[in-house]
Structure 1
């Protein structure tokens, strides 16, 4: 097995840099705005693992798609796409605290799902703001 060369210093980025870039493209929603978007037809997607949802709970009436398969389920060109997959689908991604969801929403935008965003503060903020 050959070792991969480290990327040049100019190409190295921290996760903080990647997160900042992702969030710069998102119109992040408060929990109340996410509920209103859902009422208007958006799909709220909880990407947390089952074990985390079991311990922390979660909102009702959301679609559960764990993070490791999110792009495959929502990419309209994927063989594993859900019937709702569309480039115009309004997707609001939810994780526990609003970090992973920002990266996931940006990844959906990279696929062309231009209305993807996330919930600032994640489920923790949702639970604190709206109760559960």
Structure 2
């Protein structure tokens, strides 16, 4: 399942996340609150826990975020190590959000870039 999900994504190395943010991509941290508290937070990220991701990012949902303005939004999904985020990004693509992707290595890789 993970391999099939990743085959559909253009995954971002952590080093490319700052450039993605500069071009307007939205970085979404899907880690649970306890994990963010233990590992650290990412100030530039929107926090949308995994269990509510689809209906918060889907522009057709009545529970969507203000940032979910259409299917051309670039969603960059972040989890701890880059496994759950791949599956989550693929789920967003299934909703028609074809620019959804994730960060290779997740927060564990990104923290070395940001800090």
How many residues align? The count is: 114
Give the strand-richer structure, 1 or 2. Answer: 2
Bigger drift between 43-52 and 79-88 goes to 79-88
- The answer to whether structure 1 residue 113 and structure 2 residue 73 are counterparts is no
Spell out, residue by residue over 1:9-58, the C-alpha distance to the aligned partner (whole angstroms, 9 max, x if none): xxxxxxxxx00000000000011211210111000000000010001002
Q: Which has the higher contact order (CA 8 A, sep 6+)?
A: 2
Stretches (4+) displaced over 3 A: none
Q: RMSD between aligned alpha carbons?
A: 0.9
Separation (CA, whole Å) in 2 of partners of 1:31 and 1:38: 12
**Residue ranges of structure 2 left out of the alignment (5+ in a row):** none
Q: 1:125 aligns with which of 86, 105, 109?
A: 109
Residue 17 (structure 2) aligns with: 34
- TM-score normalised by L of structure 1: 0.83
- The answer to whether structure 1 residue 80 and structure 2 residue 63 are counterparts is yes
- TM-score normalised by L of structure 2: 0.95
- What does 1:14-93 align with in structure 2 at a 5 Å threshold? 18-85=1-68, 86-93=70-77
